[in-house]
Chains A and B, each alone.
Chain A
Amino acid sequence: MNSETCLSCEGIERYLGEEEERVHALRGVSLKIEPGSIHAVVGPSGCGKSSLLYILGLLDLPDAGRVSIESEPVSQLSDDELAHKRNKFIGFIFQFHFLMEDFTALENVMIPMRKLGKLLDNEMRERAADLLDGVGLGDKLRRLSRHLSGGEQQRVAIARALANDPKVILADEPTGNLDTANSERAFELLRNLVHERGKALLLATHNPAIADACDWIHEMKDGRIITSQPLRTQSSVF
């Protein structure tokens, strides 16, 4: 296994639902992601893109197969240890932003930092302000998240995903709820962050323009990765 691999999975199987509604959502999916690369997972709705992201993000457990972070398998970790890994190594961006409504933009970005507990309050505040400034929201730090527009909320979500300086960012259709201008802006932001800070980005998207702008594109169908092709440099698949 490549020593530079920051997140990988091998032979992932996942079933969803019960009895007659049981669906084989992922069928032997394997993937490797390296720092500084952007991977797009594309495919029709229900092909297993989100399921793969949740398993890679340690939010869900596979029925079979193995997920590794920095070459260390995580299948034996307890729920609390998985939570710690999520907090430290992974940043999530969801289609519907998923911000905490009762908190300001600044406080939303500080929430993962509070959990990690490595910075003092003023340091967290400073870092969160820098991150929000980086996504163009330096003037809306103290605005409640529910009072921000959809594009602004997604930018707060991006800043929040970077709060603990994670090695991997997982984005589930991050531009799916944005207009074209905001989509381009959000993706541009993510791409710059990945390349400038050496992060790895795996995003599930329906947007062909965004997929084409990634380093790797993985096409999924019926729970399998049917094709994986590098569009630029780096990365590999099994």
Chain B
Amino acid sequence: MTPPLYIALRFLTHRKRPLLLSLSGVVFGVAIFICTQAQTQGFARYFIDSTIGSNGALVIKSRFRPRYEPLMVPAKVSQGSVGRRLYFEGITNPNEIMRVSRQFPNVVSCSPVLRGTLSARAGFENATVDLYGIDPALHARTTDILHQLIDGNFDDFRNNTSSIIIGSRLAELLQAGVGDTVQLLAPNGEYWRFTVAAIARAGIGSIDSTRVYSHARVAQALLQQPSGATMIIYKLRDPNRAPALASRFESLFQHNASSWQEREESTLQLFLTLRMSVAITVSLIILLAGFGIFNVLTMSVLAKIKEIAILRSMGYRRIDIASIFLWQGALIAVAGSLLGCLLGALMTWGVSHIPIRLRGLLYTNYFLVTWDWRHYAFATLLAGLAVFIASYVPARRAAELPPVVTIRGSR
């Protein structure tokens, strides 16, 4: 142990009240930071997982054809990019696109979907539904539909082409359960009858209140669509790289491709803003803790002015004196961060057990939290930075104190 660390430890432990004051500031700052980040990111993560689990990390939709510009264009339109593409609904040759795209290492699986909007009726209840005509095996591999089922059986759906899976909130709306009949209105005005094989809950209100899954061939007939698929959804190994892959697919397949980040941009921005806002608030708490430490260490320098002079007279260098106060800050930061991380984890665990009934954008019965080591690392880093800044000024001041002035003044 270096002499400055040894002396810093003694200075700290012999002044218990200031130590507790400084320590509690860091502990609570770090803990609150972790807990609030866990909450805000918990809701965001749940939303992201649910949307990727239901709609895929990447979606290929309509085919497009670039509009080629003539070689000579008027100057004032030469920079515009509006209307460069002509879009055609549906996927052209989905099997070939899927075959090629499976060669990409980031692609885990893909599933063609024939999508359409219809009216549904069950008993006296009506609703507008978003029909997904799927290949059950491929869709189960590509999405989290198997985990989303809260009632019924996926095999019953797979084995029965006249069965459907409906979203949980839609089931409530139509007052339909497993085994009940739901009628879907075809564009020609004819009602098709389906048996509810299962009920799924994605956890996102907009999906659960509209989504209906049927077999692709049945959906094609029902929607009277010539195309076998209106979109292909992808499961990726690294969903964070979806934008790059989407761009690659667009140029490769000449189909519109969108990543989940692009698709959910507005909601993600909302979560990000919320997180930033909370992070700024909590960072201010940590800065306040830093200010408290600054005060405590400044007072400590004043209280230890005699000791500083003694140490200097015994041959301690300016840097040794500064180190004593920097070490005090470092010890507070380390102990405070460790305890803060522990308290933050406990608070996060406690918050995750608080009952909350959300049925809007998200479906949850408890506060959603996420366990991410980066929250702990960032909180520790922030606390360390605040404490370093807070202890640097008093440390420097202590180092600059001329010992002879103190010794003369003590006479």
Contacts and interface: CB of A to CB of B under 8 A. Distances in A.
Interface of A: 50, 54, 57, 59-60, 79-80, 83-88, 92, 94-96, 98-103, 107, 111-112, 114-117, 160, 164
Interface string B313-339: 111111110000000000000000000
A54 B11 contact: no
Chief secondary structure at chain B's binding surface: helix
Contacts of B14: 102
Given A100-B310, A102-B11, A102-B14, A83 B315 contact: yes
Contact of A115 (B10, B315, B410): B315
A114 B310 contact: no
A102 B10 contact: yes
B404 interface: yes
A45 to B, nearest CB: 9
B407 A86 contact: no
Contact of B407 (A94, A115, A164): A94
Interface string B388-406: 0000000000000001100
Contacts of A87: 314-316
A80 B399 CA distance: 12
A96 B313 contact: no
A92 to B, nearest CB: 5
A30 B407 CA distance: 23
Contacts of B350: none
Given A92-B313, A98-B310, A100-B310, A114 B408 contact: no
A80 B403 contact: no
A96 to B, nearest CB: 6
Contact of B318 (A79, A111, A112): A79
Contacts of A84: 315, 317
Nearest to A45: B411
Contacts of A116: 315
23 contacts: A50-B411, A54-B407, A59-B312, A59-B404, A59-B407, A60-B404, A83-B316, A87-B315, A88-B315, A94-B313, A96-B411, A100-B7, A101-B307, A103-B10, A111-B3, A111-B7, A112-B314, A112-B315, A115-B314, A115-B316, A116-B315, A160-B314, A164-B315
Contacts of A95: 411
B108 interface: no
Interface residues of B, number: 26
B11 A115 contact: no
Nearest to B11: A102
Nearest to A90: B315
Given A59-B407, A98-B309, A111-B311, A83 B317 contact: yes
B403 A59 contact: yes
A164 B314 CA distance: 10
B378 interface: no
Given A59-B403, A102-B10, A103-B10, A111 B314 contact: yes
Nearest to A61: B404
Given A83-B315, A87-B315, 20 more contacts: A59-B403, A80-B317, A80-B319, A83-B318, A84-B315, A84-B317, A87-B314, A92-B313, A92-B314, A94-B407, A94-B410, A96-B411, A98-B309, A99-B310, A100-B7, A102-B14, A111-B314, A114-B3, A115-B316, A115-B320
Interface string B286-327: 000000000000000000001101111111111110000000
Nearest to B318: A79
Contacts of A94: 313, 407, 410
A86 B410 contact: no
B406 to A, nearest CB: 9
